[in-house]
């Protein structure tokens, strides 16, 4: 008789849709979590859309996707860290800032990542196959700590980006204290649009990034950013030569 082999693999999925699917059953209602520093707590709703119970583990990390919950020490507490979600039922994750969160940089946003791991039940009984692959799927979404001292309008931050053309490159400068996610940046040549950032990019506060642009004739860029609610906003800006 062959011995059953169960392989557990962790996959993480980052998506730009408002709803994130986990194992096609667990659903996160959001693509990012914003924590204003003057809030007592923030929450994220998740729902089990499947027909079986789900065991879910949730934790925050500081950017290392390979870190485990026991290896990360952050000034936030998440409850519940592990939960069982019944079919067609929901669960609310609550994140509370600890007193030492006041030691975080108050002049700019801080970025972390929220992980949700869906652990499928072990196959058992007479219907269990002799050899099967079992996947535990992890989703990581942005968790942004936003100091209340930042009085600028986050919705106007993309308009403050500076786009400078330097030869065959474009330098994008972010002079704001906010993280800005760009999903696309189009240049147009003879009515043909080319996306210069097909994989997207994220600009840290007070940072700059360079992208390639071999077209020497362009003078404007159309770009799309993601807002706090996961929605897409279109912009047009002039290039500074």
**Domains along the chain?**
9-146 (2.60.40.10), 154-238 (2.60.40.10)
Residues 168-186 have a mean pLDDT of 97
Q: Which of 47-51, 102-106, 186-190, 191-195 has the highest mean pLDDT?
A: 102-106
> What pLDDT score does 19 carry?
43
The answer on pLDDT for 9 being more than 90 is no
> What pLDDT score does 216 carry?
74
Tell me how long the chain is.
241
> What pLDDT score does 191 carry?
81
Residues 6+ apart with CB under 8 A from 153: none
Average pLDDT, the chain: 86
């Amino acid at each position: 008789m062959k011995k059953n082999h169960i392989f557990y693999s962790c996959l993480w999925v980052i998506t730009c849709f408002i709803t994130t699917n986990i194992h096609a059953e667990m659903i996160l209602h959001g693509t990012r979590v914003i924590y204003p520093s003057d809030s007592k707590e923030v929450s994220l709703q998740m729902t089990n859309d499947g027909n079986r119970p789900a065991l879910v583990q949730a934790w925050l990390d500081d950017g290392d996707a390979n870190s485990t919950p026991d290896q990360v020490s952050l000034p936030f507490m998440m409850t519940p860290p592990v939960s069982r979600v019944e079919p067609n039922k929901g669960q609310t994750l609550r994140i509370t800032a600890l007193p030492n969160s006041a030691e975080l940089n108050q002049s700019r946003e801080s970025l972390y990542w929220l992980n949700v791991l869906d652990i499928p039940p072990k196959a058992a009984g007479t219907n269990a196959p002799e050899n099967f692959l079992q996947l535990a799927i992890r989703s990581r979404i942005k968790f942004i700590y936003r100091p209340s001292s930042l009085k600028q309008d986050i919705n106007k931050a993309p308009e403050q980006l500076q786009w400078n053309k330097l030869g065959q490159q474009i330098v994008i400068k972010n002079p704001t204290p906010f993280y800005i996610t760009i999903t696309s940046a189009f240049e147009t040549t003879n009515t043909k649009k080319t996306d210069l950032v097909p994989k997207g990019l994220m600009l840290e506060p007070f940072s700059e990034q360079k992208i390639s642009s071999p077209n020497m004739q362009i003078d404007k860029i159309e770009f799309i950013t993601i807002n706090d609610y996961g929605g897409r906003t279109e912009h047009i800006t002039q290039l500074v030569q």
